[in-house]
Amino acid sequence: MDGIRLGKLQQIALVQHDVAKAVPFYRDGLGLTLSFEMNGLAFFDAGGVRLMLSKPSHKEFDHPNSILYFDVPDCKAAHADLKKRGVPFDDEPHLVGKTATHEIWMCFCRDPERNMIGIAEQRPIK
């Protein structure tokens, strides 16, 4: 393939009508590191990918967002720990599928604006 190749994912923008209310959820609830805030925006480190929380900049962006999936080493333990921090879950950790080498376990929670967040474990098959 000639020409430019895209690099790693740099940033994800997530619409929040109340960024100040969302910051404690992502910082204290999910445990992401708040990198900085400026001009009504909040930026977190999500495993090397920057997560930007912002109000919709135009009407065309004022809609539900994509699902964020966070990798964890143990879905059950992550679920229990996040619940203790007050993170609301839609379900319990459950097996969603298998590859030749791994079981995929997930559960789903929601941020203050009801954006869905997946907590995902790739458990090696023994």
**What integer pLDDT is reported at residue 1 of this predicted model?**
59
Euclidean distance between CA atoms 82 and 32, whole angstroms: 12
The pLDDT of residue 97 is 92
Q: Give the pLDDT confidence of 9-53 residue by residue, as tens digits.
A: 889 999 999 999 999 999 999 999 999 999 999 999 999 999 999
Architecture of the domain defined by 8-59: Roll (3.10)
Q: Which CATH class is domain 66-126?
A: alpha beta
Return residue ranges of the chain for CATH 3.10.180.10: 8-59, 66-126
Query: What distance lies between CA 88 and its chain's CA centroid?
Result: 14
